[in-house]
């Protein structure tokens, strides 16, 4: 009776129900698609060129509008050189180390900038960093270098003076030792000479008078 067969067919031997399996007319299901090929390996990373060493900036000749307290020299951008509003929104702040020499920054009062400048688009405060170091920073660096050099010179002079004093003391001590040795040698020779001589009458008279 399985698969829709009849249990009462009795077509074989009056008691058995025998069927023959026939080929189906229905198409077979499609084969699954082949697996996609493996992705190629990623190319090796291109090494970056070496970063050139940083060079010290020369001292600014003209006074800076702002930024001297942060070690940068900033000048306000006049309206005709203001970038579009979309670019100003992406500018870094005018803080210490926030903008490269020659670059623009948007200020909010940091590093001595004017928060009410409003030279760009009526409300933006845009500054440009000059490619030089503020005069105050350069003077401080020069002063530190000069103080360090002066300290080295004074230290060397002090060491030289100490060496001269030690040499003079050593020379005097050597002269004194030689002088004492010479005096001791003469005294010993005089004592030996007196001991070897026989006393004469004048010696006896001198002794008796004592």
pLDDT over 50 (residue 208): no
Give residue 149's pLDDT. Answer: 54
Q: Residue 69: which of 113, 104, 36, 33 has the closest Cα?
A: 113
- Residue 133 main-chain phi, psi, to 5 deg: -100, 140
Number of Cβ atoms within 10 Å of the Cβ of 127: 28
The predicted model scores a pTM of 0.42
DSSP state of 128: E
Determine if residue 88 is left, alpha or beta; phi over 0 gives left, psi from -120 to 50 gives alpha, anything else beta: alpha
pLDDT over 60 (residue 5): yes
């Amino acid at each position: 009776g399985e698969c829709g067969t009849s249990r009462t067919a009795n077509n074989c031997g009056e008691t058995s129900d025998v069927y023959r399996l026939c080929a189906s007319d229905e198409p077979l299901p499609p084969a699954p698609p082949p697996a996609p090929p493996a992705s190629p390996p990623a190319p090796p990373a291109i090494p970056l060129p070496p970063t050139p060493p940083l060079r010290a900036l020369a001292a600014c000749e003209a006074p800076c509008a702002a930024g001297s307290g942060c070690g940068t020299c900033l000048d306000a951008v006049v309206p005709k050189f203001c970038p579009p509003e979309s670019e100003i929104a992406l500018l870094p702040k005018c803080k210490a180390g926030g903008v490269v020499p020659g670059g623009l920054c948007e200020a909010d009062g940091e590093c001595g900038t004017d928060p009410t400048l409003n030279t760009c688009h009526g409300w933006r405060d845009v500054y440009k960093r000059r490619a030089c170091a503020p005069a105050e920073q350069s003077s401080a660096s020069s002063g530190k270098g000069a103080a360090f050099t002066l300290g080295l010179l004074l230290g060397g002079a002090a060491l030289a003076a100490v060496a001269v004093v030690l040499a003079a003391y050593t020379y005097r001590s050597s002269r004194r030792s030689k002088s004492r040795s010479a005096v001791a040698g003469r005294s010993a020779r005089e004592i030996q000479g007196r001991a070897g001589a026989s006393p004469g009458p004048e010696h006896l008279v001198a002794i008796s008078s004592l």
